[in-house]
Amino acid sequence: MAKADALSLKEQPKLLGHPAGLFVLFFTELWERFSFFGIRGILVLFLVAQTTGSNPGLGWANQEALALYGWYTMLAYFAAVPGGLLAGRWLGQRRSVLVGGILLCAGYGLLVIETTAAFYTGLGFIILGVGCLKPNVAGMVGALYPAGDDQRDIGFTIFYIGINIGAFLSTLAIGWVAVRIDWHLGFGLAGVGMLIGQGAYLLGQKYLKGVGEKPPAGRQKQAELSFSAAFSSRTPFLTAAVMILAAIVLLVNGWNGGGVVAALLGLMAGLGIYVYQECGPLERDRLLVIFFTLLALVIFWGAFEQAGGLMNLYAQQKTGRMLAGFEVPAPWFQSLNPLYIILFGTPVGLAWLWWKRQGREASSLFKMALGTIVVGLGFLFMSAASAEFESKGESAMYWLLLAYFLLTLGELFASPVALSFITKLSPARYSSFLLAFYFAAVGLGHKLAGALGELAQYIGDFAIFTGIALGCLVAGLLALLLLPPLKNMAHGADGLPGSHFEEQEGFELADQPEAEEEWKKNEQGF
């Protein structure tokens, strides 16, 4: 998206030393995350709740609920790609956020209606709405600040505080209302939150003038040509075609989920091969590091996202939740992650700064590897909880508190640096493709999380939790062993200026010649 020019940025009204538009986006995202995480905290619980009683659910089996959870969360991340295309080629970020907010309000409203058609349509609207709003609202935060403004990092900190406040409050408020009163009233409360966020965004439009505007026509044409070029090359086309044929075979034989995933992987593989073929030797080395990082992200999020699925069901069905005569609602455990982030985000950041100043290893690859290991250790607590359940019939709440603490610690190690590292490694002219790959990898991780949760219904929680722990430990240790060659193949990318997703100008599938010139300047230092 075109950023506001320097003069207009300087003329913007200030609040607490920051552009007033920051706080418009702060409240927009706070309430959007309030709604999204509220639904995330109750979705599988609603699906498995009995169809009888004063607060009936849908009565699904656990594996069916976890399968839907996997698809829902995966598609919400995949939708960021067309959401970026919409902004980058036609609407601009500001209008895309508006469209996303409208879709979200409609989606949450439909969930209030107690029919199957309204339920599925509502989830579809939410997926599309998240795809339009989520990637673009954060991009607008970076556009509020002139290049080189040292207030930008503080602005993003304020913005992320809003995200975690929304996530923390949502699972407490929506979780309580949905479990104790009425599921659909909980869905409605999420809708009210989204309406508040959308109202804040509409009222604050005067503070966002010149930010996230519609892109120039030249970039729209270039985006179309770049995408068509990717599959006009023989090897990418054949690779995608073979994968799509395999997907058709899977679909014909009733493996619908596997077929869809195979088709998506085919398209990703074709694009990846195209980008690799078009790059020089140094860029190819970096691309291989990117592909390794994306694979690690699938594993990381496949483990971490058990929080909203299998761990959520475990809290509801197998955890003793009585505390001083009060039964803790299962969704409340979802609030531990944002609470831990608020409490420990700054100390962890300062600890890494101190660690780096001691001359110790603090590369992005090291942080991601260590974060994966820490998440794996967190699941050992869930293994202990499962063993206690097998022997006593229920497990203690403190296992969940400990597990969520380590999952959050692992997230604080790995998640903040992952996308920044990928954008540093990416050839600027193909950064759009690789941003799409990032969201696809995160989405596939969520689908993997749902699939592992389904598998737990057949082989048991202890086997799955222990398997996830061992898988993360092995993946993290392997990454540490490969750290020296991977760092060599990165060719000093960690030392490049930060290039975070929040600062990207959308992810339309287009070359970015203006960014390429900046990249060449950086490359001269090697």
Model confidence at 268: pLDDT above 50: yes
Q: Output the six-digit token pair for 239.
A: 């690779």
When pLDDT is cut at 50, 70 and 90, the band that residue 496 belongs to is low
Q: Which CATH code for domain 1-215?
A: 1.20.1250.20
Interval 236-253: pLDDT, tens: 888 889 999 998 998 888
Superfamily of domain 281-520: MFS general substrate transporter like domains (1.20.1250.20)
Distance CA 112, CA 93 (A): 29
Q: What is the pLDDT of residue 103?
A: 97
Residues 6+ apart with CB under 8 A from 300: 368, 371, 372, 375, 410, 414, 445, 472
Of 415 and 194, the one with more pLDDT: 194
Distance CA 470, CA 468 (A): 6
Mean pLDDT of the chain: 87
Helix residue spans in 49-92 (DSSP H): 62-78, 80-86
Q: What is the DSSP string of 199-215?
A: HHHHHTGGGSTTSSBPP
Specify whether the CB–CB gap between 190 and 105 falls below 8 A. no
Q: Which DSSP helix (H) or strand (E) runs through 15?
A: strand 14-15
Distance CA 404, CA 398 (A): 10
Distance CA 514, CA 215 (A): 14
Distance CA 333, CA 405 (A): 11
Specify whether the CB–CB gap between 502 and 141 falls below 8 A. yes
HSE (CB half, 13 Å, CA atoms) of 318? 24
Interval 135-167: pLDDT, tens: 888 778 878 887 667 677 778 878 888 889 999
Q: What is the DSSP string of 137-150?
A: HHHHHHHTS-TT-T
Around Cβ 457, how many Cβ atoms within 10 Å? 17
Around Cβ 92, how many Cβ atoms within 10 Å? 22
Specify whether the CB–CB gap between 435 and 423 falls below 8 A. yes
When pLDDT is cut at 50, 70 and 90, the band that residue 398 belongs to is very high
Around Cβ 242, how many Cβ atoms within 10 Å? 14
Around Cβ 7, how many Cβ atoms within 10 Å? 9
Nearest to 415 by CA among 367, 376, 363: 367
Instruction: Please report where in the chains the tokens 């073979």 appear, as a residue.
Output: 242
Which residues are registered as beta bridge partners of 14? 19
Q: Output the six-digit token pair for 131.
A: 């795809």
Q: Output the six-digit token pair for 169.
A: 């409050």
With H, G, I as helix, E, B as strand and everything else as coil, classify residue 114: coil
Q: How many whole angstroms from its chain centre is CA 358?
A: 32
Which residues are registered as beta bridge partners of 194? none
Q: What is the pLDDT of residue 498?
A: 52
Quick one: angle between helices 336-357 and 152-180, nearest 10?
Answer: 150
Specify whether the CB–CB gap between 24 and 207 falls below 8 A. yes
Interval 448-466: pLDDT, tens: 999 999 999 999 999 999 9
Angle of CA points 157, 152, 414, to nearest 5°: 50
**pTM exceeds cut of 0.85:** yes
Distance CA 517, CA 310 (A): 47
